[in-house]
Amino acid sequence: MAKVVVVGSSNTDMVVKSNHLPVPGETILGGEFLMNPGGKGANQAVAARRLGAEVVFVARVGDDIFGRESVQGFGKEKINTDFIAVDAENPSGVAVIMVDEKGENCIAVASGANHALSAGDVDKAVVQIESASVLLMQLESPLATVEHAAALGAKKGKCVILNPAPAQSVSDELLANLDFITPNETEAEILTGIKVTDQESAQRAAEVLRGKGVGTVVVTLGSRGAYVQSEALSVLVPARNVDAVDTTAAGDTFNGALAVGLADGLSIEAAVGFANQAAAISVTRMGAQSSAPFLNELEL
C-alpha cells in the first residue's frame, strides 16, 4: 500500500446552504445547516485514505469537543492519528461556510490550534516521512512549519507536494524544495503576478514557478481541468463534466488523489487524470470530507 504523510490543518466546518450568498448586511432565512469535519489538511488526508493510501496525518487540535470528535473521525477512516497533537492552550479550528444553490461558496476560518503547528510537531513524524512516498502540505499551517516540512521531505528524497491554499505568497526557498505545486487560478496569480484565465496564461504562470525550482506545476482550472507543466510535459488534462452541488473541498480531494496517484507510481498525466476524476465526483455531494469518493467509485 502506498504511503502518504499529510502535514496540515483540521477544522470543524459549519455549513449553511441557501439559495444565494448574502451580501454585507443581508440576512437570508430558510437555509439548511450542516456540521462536518473539515480543514484542508484533514480533507486531503481523508481523500487520500479513501482512495487507497496508508495515511499519516500531522496536525494540531484543541482539547475540546471539536478536537476529540475530529481525532475520533480520523480513526474511523483508519488514518494514523499518532502525530495529531492536542493543544491545551488553543481551541480547535472552525470554519463557517455558506453555499448557494449553484454550489459556489464563501468561507471564514478561525484557525485556533492549527496556527500552533510547529516544526517540532513535524520532526516527531520523521520516521513516518522517511517511510512514505509522498509528503503533502497546504497553507492553513504556519508558513515556517510548511517550509521546514518541505525542506525535510526534500532532504529525505520524498515527493513533496504543496497545495498553496489559502492563497498567499511564498518564499523561493520553499518553492525550490517542491516536486509539485498545485495552485488554482487565483493562487497562481498571487504566486506569479500573472492573471490566469486560460491555458496560455496558465502556461506562462507555470513557467515562472518552474523557473524558481518547482519540478512540476499543476494549475487547476475548475471545470476545464488542470494544466500540467514539467520538464517533459505541457498538457491540459480535461475534467469530467458533472452537475456541481457543492464545490467545498473539491481542491482538497484533487490534491489527496494526486498524492495517491503519484505514490502508486502513475505517470504525472495519469495521476492528474485520476485526481480530476475524484474531484468531479466530490462536487456532486454536500460537505468537505464527506464528499470524498472511495477508490471503488473511480474508473481505473
**How many angstroms separate the CA atoms of 249 and 56, rounded?**
19
Asked whether residue 88 carries a pLDDT value surpassing 90, the answer given is yes
Annotated binding site for K(+): 246, 248, 282, 285, 287, 291
Pairing of strands 180-181, 216-220: parallel
Per-residue pLDDT tens over the stretch 135-178 = 999 999 999 999 999 999 999 999 999 999 999 999 999 999 99
Residues 6+ away with beta carbon under 8 Å from 133:
2, 3, 4, 158, 159, 262, 263
Annotated binding site: 11-13, 39-43, 140, 184, 220-225, 246, 248, 251-252, 276, 282, 285, 287, 291
Annotated binding site for substrate: 11-13, 39-43, 140, 252
Active site (annotated) includes residue 252: yes
Per-residue pLDDT tens over the stretch 251-260 = 999 999 999 9
* CA dist list (Å): 83 to 9, 76, 112, 125, 191: 12, 16, 18, 7, 30
| Helix (H/G/I), strand (E/B), else coil: 173 | helix
Beta bridge partners of 220: 184, 226
Out of 64, 87, 179, 252, pick the active-site residue. Answer: 252
Per-residue pLDDT tens over the stretch 29-46 = 988 998 889 999 999 999
Residue 142 has φ and ψ, to the nearest 5°, of -55, 140
Residues 59, 114 contacting (CB under 8 angstroms): yes
Q: Can you give the pLDDT at residue 109?
A: 84
Query: Per the confidence metrics, is the pTM higher than 0.75?
Result: yes
Q: How many CB atoms lie within 10 A of CB 187?
A: 25
Residues 6+ away with beta carbon under 8 Å from 171:
143, 147
Pairing of strands 84-87, 54-62: parallel
Show the domains of the chain with their CATH numbers: 3-293 (3.40.1190.20)
Nearest to 4 by CA among 35, 44, 34, 31: 44
Name residue, grid cell 513524524.
125
Per-residue pLDDT tens over the stretch 220-238 = 998 899 999 999 999 999 9
Residues 220, 189 contacting (CB under 8 angstroms): no
